[in-house]
Amino acid sequence: MSFKYHEYINSQEWQEVRKLALQRSAYKCQICGSTNYLDVHYNSYDNLGNERENLQDLVVLCSEHHQLYHDALAEVERLADQRLEERLLGGLLQQTPALVKGLSNFPADIFTSSLRKEVFNYLCYRAAEEKAIDSAIVASYLANRKLLEAEEAERLLNNWVSCCSKPQNSEAYAQELHDLYLRRQIQQLPAVITRLNRDNQRSVIELIDVIQAVVQIIANKSNTTQLVHIADILSQTFQNIEERHEGISLPGIPCGFYDLDAMTIGFQRSDLIIVAGRPSMGKSSFCLGIAYNIANNYKLPVCFFSLEMSKEQVVERLLSAEAGIESGYLRSGRISQTQWEPLSFAIGMLCDVPIYIEDRPNINVSEIRSKARQVMLEHQGLLGLIVIDYLQLLAGDNDENRARELAKITRSLKGLAKELNVPVIVLSQLNRSVESRTNKRPMMSDLKESGSIEEDADLVIMVYRDEYYTPDTPDRGIAEVILAKHRNGPTGTIKLLFYQQFARFKNLARRN
């Protein structure tokens, strides 16, 4: 028979078992010398089971539980360094306010005692106010706060000063303590994960996303940067400008289409980029081309979320474009003798390209974030691009108002781009109203549920092929890429070659 904890401790059976347990479960800890009993530990168990039959096993478990307590204390001691904390504070007491201010970006939690945290915070406060710092001033403060007697405080602070013979190493001491602090944070992760896992209302993907967010918070704490004076930034900025002037680098990630890169100066990290077009304009092929260019040319991993095509169809398009074989032949398997070699070569090329494809329908932004983070972890935090095909198929929160639901999704996508510091391309449909106009070139107002898309996007790119509507046009084989919105630069239209049979876009302009 099995009981829940709150039921069991109030039962008559527990009282009987407890009496028996107290006779048999007393043991003396070899570490701390204390005598421990079963009932000291019973509240750690959610489900105790039938102790009459398993009492001895439970006593052993309780002994082990007490040992874990000491193990945990040992871990805390391993991840703390009291002497180094005292040495750092002793060093700061010998520094000028300006030098102490330079270390105020470190959190007080790098110290493991409330007294040392209090001293550090007070030193940072005085440094920020550009007030003098010495042992007597801090001792007086501690006495006024009734934390220590004045004489005891001054004696303690002088001991800290005497144990720090190299105050110039204070920043190195602070960095080492900060590393120990982060390790203590990491040490707590298993308990945090266990607590989160008790919430059965969360899906597994949501749980993973929350856990990754917790890890990201710790990762963010590893950055101890602070406000920087403009003079310290100007030198690096000037060097960057020189490199761009000489054509060595772009401030963003080049997409591989030269005229578009010239207008955008590369896709900026944290940009939300909308690529829109009517069906058969080639917007999926255009975005696949960008994904391939970034992954192949810069060896940056790319995540491609295909909510419309299967992953096999996505790969077939990439193979068709790379091998120069019509996709119809690949789908039917009618490959000629001369086509096997370029096909094999294309397969070999694509195997080395870091493109990751997810084709699950009804995926939501949280799941996209989780999967993108997994790729970043596998690639030492690198991610070149996220592509989502397409916006209107993304799962929302089942809001009856679809326009409002899409607004929430686009805001989440912009947040995703900023959080992961990566450009996010999202394909979008256009309204059918385009078809009723004489001039079929798309406009911003043609975006389906356009309000939030136009507001949240940093770039809006529209793909148009006149050949689709006018077969005898002089622009056969030409696609117009219309940059309709550019938050930080010019708008305009560029032209690319489009090989429809291979679903491939190529540069019409030469590389500058």
Residues 502 and 417 both lie in one domain: yes
Residues 172 and 250 both lie in one domain: no
Q: Look at residue 214 and tell me whether its pLDDT is greater than 60.
A: yes
Residues 65 and 102 both lie in one domain: no
Query: CA 473 to CA 465: how far, in whole Å?
Result: 10
Q: Examine the fold and report which residue of 49, 78, 107 is the final residue of a domain before the chain moves on.
A: 78
Residues 346 and 476 both lie in one domain: yes
Residue 227: inside a domain? no
Q: Look at residue 388 and tell me whether its pLDDT is greater than 90.
A: yes
Q: pLDDT tier at 432 (50, 70, 90 boundaries)?
A: confident
In sequence order, what E strands does 49-129 have?
Answer: none
Residues 302 and 436 both lie in one domain: yes
Residue 252: inside a domain? yes
CATH value at residue 137: 1.10.860.10
Domain count, the chain: 4
Residue 229: inside a domain? no
- Alpha carbons within 13 angstroms on the beta-carbon side of residue 367 total 17
Q: Examine the fold and report which residue of 78, 106, 131 is the final residue of a domain before the chain moves on.
A: 78
Q: Which domain holds residue 319?
A: 237-507
Find the mean pLDDT for residues 33-53.
Answer: 45
% pLDDT > 70, the chain: 77
Find the mean pLDDT for residues 338-351.
Answer: 85
Residue 230: inside a domain? no
Any idea which of 83-92, 99-108, 200-209, 233-242 has the lowest mean pLDDT?
A: 233-242
Q: pLDDT tier at 278 (50, 70, 90 boundaries)?
A: confident
Contacts of residue 365, defined as CB under 8 A and 6 or more positions apart, other chains included, come to 394, 409, 412, 413, 416
Residues 90 and 64 both lie in one domain: no
Q: pLDDT tier at 208 (50, 70, 90 boundaries)?
A: confident
Residues 70 and 15 both lie in one domain: yes
Residue 231: inside a domain? no
Find the mean pLDDT for residues 383-390.
Answer: 90
Sheet order of strands, 492-499 included: 355-358, 302-306, 385-389, 424-428, 272-276, 459-464, 478-486, 492-499, 504-507
386 phi, psi to nearest 5 deg = -120, 130
- Quote the pLDDT of residue 51: 42
- Quote the pLDDT of residue 302: 93
H helix or E strand, kind and range, residue 498: strand 492-499
- Quote the pLDDT of residue 45: 39
Q: Examine the fold and report which residue of 63, 78, 93 is the final residue of a domain before the chain moves on.
A: 78
- Quote the pLDDT of residue 350: 86
Residues 335 and 356 both lie in one domain: yes
Contacts of residue 455, defined as CB under 8 A and 6 or more positions apart, other chains included, come to 410
Mean pLDDT of the chain, nearest integer: 79
Residue 376 to residues 17, 156, 356, 501, Cα–Cα distance (Å): 53, 47, 11, 34
Residue 53: inside a domain? yes
Q: Look at residue 100 and tell me whether its pLDDT is greater than 80.
A: yes
CATH value at residue 495: 3.40.50.300
pLDDT tens across 18-42, in order? 555 555 455 555 555 566 554 444 4
